[in-house]
Chains A and B, each alone.
Chain A
Amino acid sequence: MADEKTSQKKEENKKKPKRHHNKNYAVKKRLPARPVDGENVIFITKKTNFKAQLDKCCDLLTKGEKEIILHGLGAAIQRCCNLALQLEILFSGTCQIEVNTGTVEVIDDLEPLVDELDFDAQLRNTSSIHIRVFRTAMLGANQ
Chain B
Amino acid sequence: MDATEFDASVGGSEHLPFSANSLKFAASRSVEIAAMTESILQPSKTKLIFQTLPVHMRRRVMSHNSKRLPQRLRLAHLEQLKKSGLPPKQKRPSRKYRRRPTNLLEEYNRRQKRNVWLETHIWHAKRFHMIERWGHRLAYAPCDKSFRACYRASSAHCLMQDISYLTPISISGSMESIKEIFSSITSQKCGLGICAQAYINGCREGLINIYKQNSFPFDYIGTVQFVWTPTNPEKKQKDLWMFVHPSQSKQIESLITDLVSSKEAIEHIEPVGKKRKLSNNTSEKVQIKVWPGHFNRFCLTGPNSHAILVHSLKCIDIDKTKNNKWVCIPNVGDLYLETKSEYWNELKAIKSTSELPPRIVIGLVVKDPRTRRPSTRTKALCNTSDHVNTKFLLKIPQFVATSPLWNTSVCNSIKENRLSNAQYIKDITESQLVPGEVNDSDPKLQSLPVVLVQRQGSQDPKFKKLGYGSGWDIIIPSSYGMPFWLTFIMFGARVGGLRETENLSFEMGQSYFPPDSEAGKLEMERKEAEFKDKYFKLPPSKRVNYLKLGINSPFACPWKVLLKDWSDIPVDDFFVIRERNVLHILQGCITNKTALPEIENSASCLVQIYVKVLGKGSLKRHALIYIPQQNDIGNIESLFEPQHKDYNEELRKTRRKEHIKEIKGQRRKQSKQRKTNNNVTKKSQLKGEPSSYVKMMRELWLPSNVEVVRFGGIREVIGYVSQGSFSFTEARNCGVGYIAYNALNVLLKSNINQVLTRNTTTRKYRLAEIRVVHE
* Chain A residues near B (Cβ < 8 Å): 28-37, 45, 47, 49, 105, 107, 109, 111-119, 121-123
B459-A116 in contact (CB<8A): no
Known: A29-B460, A33-B387, A112-B192. A119 touches B355 (CB 8 A): no
Q: Which of B188, B198, B460 contacts A119 (CB 8 A)?
A: B198
Tell me whether B196 is interfacial, beta carbon within 8 Å. yes
Q: Which residues of A contact B351 (CB under 8 A)?
A: 33-34, 37
Query: Looking at the complex, which one of B193, B204, B390, B731 makes contact with A107 (CB distance below 8 Å)?
Result: B390
Contact partners of A123 in chain B: CB under 8 A: 390, 394
Q: Which of B453-467 contact A (CB under 8 A)?
A: 456, 459-462, 465-467
Q: Which of B662-717 contact A (CB under 8 A)?
A: none
Residue B170, interface by CB 8 Å: no
B interface residues (Cβ-Cβ under 8 A, vs A): 188, 192-193, 195-198, 201, 203-204, 350-352, 354-358, 385, 387-388, 390, 393-395, 456, 459-462, 465-467, 470, 580, 731
The minimal Cβ–Cβ distance linking A123 to chain B, given in whole angstroms, is 7
How many whole Å from A105's CB to the nearest CB in chain B?
Answer: 6
Name the CB-closest residue of A to B191: A113
Q: Are A31 and B357 in contact (CB under 8 A)?
A: no
Q: Which residues of A contact B358 (CB under 8 A)?
A: 28, 30, 109, 111, 119
Task: Indicate which residue in A29, A37, A105, A109 contacts B390 across the interface (CB closer than 8 Å).
Answer: A105
CB nearest to A34 among chain B residues: B351
A33 touches which of B355, B470, B580 (Cβ 8 Å): B355
Assembly CA distance A107 to B617 (angstroms): 39
Instruction: Give the CA-CA distance A106 to B627 in the complex, in Å.
Output: 42
A117-B461 contact, Cβ under 8 Å, with A28-B358, A33-B355? no
Residues in chain A near residue B456, CB distance under 8 A: 28
Contact between chains at B355 and A30 (CB < 8 Å):
yes
Asked whether, in the complex, the Cβ of A31 is within 8 Å of the Cβ of B467, the reply is yes
Q: Given A119-B203, A121-B394, output 15 extra A-B contacts at Cβ < 8 Å.
A: A29-B461, A30-B459, A31-B355, A33-B351, A34-B351, A34-B352, A115-B188, A115-B193, A115-B195, A116-B196, A119-B198, A119-B357, A121-B357, A123-B390, A123-B394
Residue from B192, B395, B580 within 8 A of A115 (CB atoms): B192
CB <8 Å contact, B197 and A29: no
Question: Which residues on B sit within 8 Å (CB–CB) of A112?
Answer: 192, 196-198
6 nearest A-B pairs in the assembled complex, by CB-CB distance: A28-B459, A115-B196, A31-B467, A31-B354, A34-B351, A121-B394
Contact call A30/B198, Cβ cutoff below 8 A: no
| Chain A to chain B contacts (Cβ below 8 Å), 21 pairs | A29-B459, A29-B466, A30-B358, A31-B352, A31-B470, A33-B350, A33-B355, A34-B351, A35-B385, A45-B465, A107-B355, A109-B357, A111-B198, A112-B192, A112-B196, A115-B193, A115-B195, A115-B196, A118-B198, A119-B358, A123-B390
Structural contact, B388 and A31, CB atoms closer than 8 A: no
Tell me which of A32, A105, A122 has the highest count of chain B C-beta atoms within 10 A of its own C-beta. Answer: A32
In the bound complex, what is the Cα–Cα distance between A90 and B188 (angstroms)?
A: 57
If A33-B388, A121-B393 touch, does A109 touch B193 (CB 8 Å cutoff)?
no
Q: Which residues of A contact B466 (CB under 8 A)?
A: 29-31
Is A49 a contact partner of B731 (Cβ separation < 8 A)?
yes
Inter-chain CA distance A121–B390, complex, in Å, is: 11
> Chain B residues with Cβ under 8 A from A49's Cβ?
731
Q: A109-B358, A111-B358 are in contact. Are A119 and B204 (CB under 8 A)?
A: yes
Q: Identify the interface centre among A30, A47, A49, A122: most chain B CB within 10 Å of its CB.
A: A30
A115 and B197 contact, Cβ closer than 8 Å, known pairs A34-B352, A121-B394: yes
Task: With A115-B192, A118-B197 as known contacts, state yes or no: A47 contacts B461, CB within 8 Å.
Answer: yes
Nearest chain B CB to A18 CB, angstrom units = 16
Measured CB to CB, the closest approach of chain B to A64, in angstroms, equals 23
Which residues on A sit within 8 Å (CB–CB) of B385?
A: 35-36
- Across the interface, which residues of A come within 8 angstroms of B201, CB to CB? 118
CA distance A33 to B193 in the complex (A): 32
Specify which of A31, A45, A116 lies most central, judged by the most chain B CB atoms within 10 Å of its CB.
A31
Across the interface, do A47 and B465 meet the contact criterion of CB distance under 8 Å? Answer: yes
CB distance from A23 to the nearest CB of B (A): 10
Question: Which residues on the A side are within 8 Å of B352 (C-beta)?
Answer: 31, 34
CB-defined contacts of A105 to chain B, threshold 8 Å: 390
- Minimal Cβ-Cβ distance residue in A for B467: A31
- How far does the Cβ of A100 sit from chain B's closest Cβ, in whole Å? 16
A113 touches B197 (CB 8 A): no
Smallest Cβ-Cβ distance to B384: which chain A residue? A36
Q: Chain B residues near A107: list those with CB within 8 A.
A: 355, 390, 393-394
Once the chains are docked, how many angstroms separate the CA of A121 from the CA of B204? Answer: 14
Whole-angstrom CA separation of A30 from B150 in the bound complex: 24
Q: How far is the CB of B191 from chain A (nearest CB, A)?
A: 8
Kindly name the residue among B198, B355, B580 whose own CB sees the greatest number of chain A CB atoms within 10 A. Answer: B198
Cα–Cα distance between A95 and B607 once the two chains are bound (Å): 52
